[in-house]
Amino acid sequence: MDKLIVIGIVLIFCILMVIYTQRDTASPKDKNLKEIVQDAYPEYKVIEKSTSIAICKPNARGVLDDLMIIRIDPEQKKNLRHSGTTLIATYSKRPSIREITKDFDAFFKR
């Protein structure tokens, strides 16, 4: 009987551990993705383009050049690719600040 109690406690602990680790702890739900990206990179201009978020920098003529485009597409897995001077990042779910900075810091160092 004691063995069954121990097995039950361990099983409940394992279930709680799986639930805890699988929770969506990406970001506070009160902020949208644009605000999160703007907080991470305040020196750049962040704009919304239809279903994407663009991180832009003004060029010499005052026109905004897209440095990065962030897309969220549940049908695709995480994908980072270059298109000219623009980095296009596709995520399957809303990325956290930590994930965004990890992916983009190498690109911004250039």
Residue at 24 is within a domain: no
* d(C-alpha 38, C-alpha 41), whole Å: 5
* d(C-alpha 32, C-alpha 28), whole Å: 9
pLDDT band for position 11 (50/70/90)? very high
Is 80 exceeded by the pLDDT of residue 109? no
Around Cβ 97, how many Cβ atoms within 10 Å? Answer: 15
Residue at 80 is within a domain: yes
Query: Per residue in 75-92, pLDDT tens?
Result: 999 999 988 888 899 999
CA-wise closest residue to 68 among 78, 51, 80: 80
Residue at 63 is within a domain: yes
CA-wise closest residue to 51 among 30, 29, 69: 69
Question: Which SS3 state, helix, strand or coil, does residue 107 take?
Answer: helix
Residue at 23 is within a domain: no
DSSP state of 83: E
> For residue 96, what are the domain limits?
29-108
Residue at 7 is within a domain: no
Residue at 5 is within a domain: no
What's the N-to-C CA distance of the chain in angstroms?
A: 64
What's the total number of domains in the chain? 1
Q: Which of 5-9, 21-25, 106-110 has the lowest mean pLDDT?
A: 106-110
Residue at 6 is within a domain: no
